[in-house]
Amino acid sequence: MPVATTKQFAAMLDAAQKGDYAYPAVNVTSITSINAALKAFADKKSDGIIQFSTGAGQFASGLNVKDAVFGVEVLAEAVHRLAEKHDILVGLHTDHCQAEKVESFLKPLIELTAKRRAEGRGNLFQAHMFDGSALPLEENLAISKELLKLCADNDIILEVEAGVVGGEEDGIDNSDLPAEKLYTSPEDMVAVHEALDGIGRYMFAATFGNVHGSYKPGAVKLTPEILKNGQAAVMDKFGTDAEFDLVFHGGSGSTLEEIRETLAYGVIKMNIDTDTQYAFTRPVVHHILKNYDGVLKIDGEIGAKKLYDPRAYLKAAEEGMANRMKQACDDLQSSGKTISGTV
């Protein structure tokens, strides 16, 4: 079953931490983008993470419905079926859920998994993210503790964030934040461990200057050493078992050297969205521009059905997105390291 069990997903994270590599975590919005992710992971013999935002859920549920929970459930169920045809493991995850959406988005999704488990079925999701980074740290961690207990009761891993990822993505705009908000301090990292240790397994999105959005190389000023220093502060105080499973958000515009450096500091998951959106759309634009008078009915003509058939350009979109995801597998050094069949 290529959607990982809870045991397999934990083993995936352990393998990445031990092997100094990370999993691409790709945001998807449709069957086509799901298939692009699965193709990339399968072609690269890499396990990976497929994740959904609240906006993706609203989009997937349709213009008349716009129900984020329902749409995400539909997408997740689709991954469970489609992944059966591939020989790698994928974990299912949800992306940024702010405090004001916990009751309407995160808790209902946890309940869907709880219902499946009560029926003797496997988890719908292996992980969820709570983004309390806009809150004071004490309030953030109080909510994180509550959610981590709820997730642990259902064998779900929780991702938390302290420090704010800059830029704008999927309706979350942190473009105007002061620079100091973009960096998680060693003291913050110690506080996270002290608050959450022993409740359940979690991943931690610590920030080190990373921002959402699209940027030219060199425009984003990352300081990966922040991760190194924070890990050291925690392990010096609590021992090597306290090492965080870190998550890298906002990687667009990062150099390969910067990405690889974070792997040595405990990053085991890197979110991919902006770059794959472009990789999906670019072939569609090429198709439209190249076949303008066939896609459109120009000057009373009838066009060319085989060119305006959505499958003509969506297949190209799937291929384009898959190719970008293959690059991510190589960049994060997860290629060829599937643990499918071993756990």
Which residues are tagged catalytic?
95
| Strand intervals (E) in 131-277 | 157-162, 166-169, 172-174, 202-206, 211-212, 246-248, 267-272
Q: Which residue has the tokens 């291929």?
A: 319
Q: Round to the nearest angstrom and report the end-to-end CA distance of the chain.
A: 11
Phi-psi region of 300 (alpha: psi -120 to 50; beta: other; left: phi over 0): left
CB-based contacts of 132: which residues, under 8 Å, 6+ apart? 98, 99, 139, 140, 141, 143, 144, 160, 161, 162
Query: Rounded distance, CA 201 to CA 149, Å?
Result: 10
Sign of CA dihedral 129, 130, 136, 142: negative
CA distances from 126 to 110, 182, 247, 273, 322 (A): 10, 28, 15, 20, 23
Which stretch of DSSP H or E encloses residue 244?
none
The residue among 277, 284, 250 whose CA lies nearest residue 33 is 277
Query: Rounded distance, CA 304 to CA 292, Å?
Result: 10
At residue 295, what is the residue type?
Answer: V
The residue among 83, 163, 76, 169 whose CA lies nearest residue 127 is 76
Query: Rounded distance, CA 92 to CA 23, Å?
Result: 12
